[in-house]
Amino acid sequence: MQISNWVNYWLFLPLKLMVVVGGQAPKAIRSVECYDFKEERWHQVAELPSRRCRAGVVYMSGLIFAVGGFNGSLRVRTVDSYDPVKNQWTSVANMQDRRSTLGAAVLNGLLYAVGGFDGSTGLSSVEAYNMKTNEWFHVTPMNTRRSSVGVGVVGGMLYAVGGYDGASRQCLSTVECYNCNSDVWTYVAEMSTRRSGAGVGVLNNLLYAVGGHDGPLVRKSVEVYDPAINTWTQIADMNMCRRNAGVCAVNGLLYVIGGDDGSCNLATVEYYNPTTDKWTVVSSCMSTGRSYAGVTVIDKPL
Ligand SMILES: *[C@@H]1O[C@H](CO)[C@@H](O)[C@H](O)[C@H]1NC(C)=O
């Protein structure tokens, strides 16, 4: 690399950390670790106040939120927030519903908790959290019950991808889209395959559905949705079969973190480069194999 490029890289590329919250290893854990892209290393940070896997995890207004999940005995409605500057977790208002394997996303300044499983049934219900009032409120439910659902926001719309419909006992290929201005859910094009526990992420205004499973079959296949043409397209397979993995986008790459291959929890991370249509395994693994962890990307605290 030329010196000028090198200086640019260190001075201007925003420093990001990938934070992996809780998960199943094989029981619900409190551990939180983060990957420093510059150092190419993992660090442990403050543990969750209580064990949590299958939670929804987002980054909003400088804080990480871990929403609901399973604590080893119960699906919970509790929510913890993490301040990266103080390296400290605090509890905020509970959701109205218990939910694990939910989807969580930020849209128009609100934190949405979508679907999931309450311990007896898959949920179609959706609620939103207003940080200013510290309150959760229900919005229009989805058309389908979806546990193990993946969500992502593209172009101001929230997409709920696949999952498991307790009623028909089928993994789902259907996808629906939430417009927060009209408070309406609408079906969009289905994926080419059924995926429950897919990792869902957004890169360059495209929605990715990574791995997941259909019954006992764990997938390594990946497909990508372009809202502009309402079409799913298959892309290169991952190196490993994964379901219940975390997904996040950083610096033009899509990262997939952990998950399980149907028998083992995985400590490996791989990333997709859309320019080359290739998956590459990151050389540094997490400290422990974990599935059902929440993953988000934050700005590195100064
Ligand atoms: C799980 O949560 C319930 C209710 O919040 C609590 O009573 C229980 O002690 C928790 N279990 C574990 C293992 O933390």
pLDDT by residue (tens digit) across 31-57?
999 999 999 999 999 999 999 999 999
Residue 254 above 90 pLDDT? yes
Task: Select from 52, 53, 71, 99 the residue to mutate for testing ligand 1; criterion: most ligand atoms less than 8 Å from CB.
Answer: 71
How far apart (Å, rounded) are the C-alpha atoms in residues 93 and 56? Answer: 15
Average pLDDT over residues 286-299: 98
What's residue 13's pLDDT?
63
Backbone angles phi, psi at 293, to 5 degrees: -85, 155
Task: Select from 29, 30, 52, 74 the residue to mutate for testing ligand 1; criterion: most ligand atoms less than 8 Å from CB.
Answer: 74
C-beta of 91 in contact with ligand 1 (< 6 A): no
* Residue in this structure with the two tokens 């200086």, named with its chain if needed: 7
74-110: per-residue pLDDT in tens? 999 999 999 999 999 999 999 999 999 999 999 999 9
pLDDT band at 167 (very low <50, low <70, confident <90, very high): confident
Handedness of CA 25, 27, 31, 35 (dihedral sign): positive
Residue 2 above 90 pLDDT? no
C-beta of 262 in contact with ligand 1 (< 6 A): no
| Residue 22 · residue 51 · CB < 8 Å | yes
What's residue 8's pLDDT?
45
pLDDT band at 160 (very low <50, low <70, confident <90, very high): very high
Please, how many CA atoms are within 13 Å of residue 291, restricted to the half-sphere of its CB?
Answer: 20
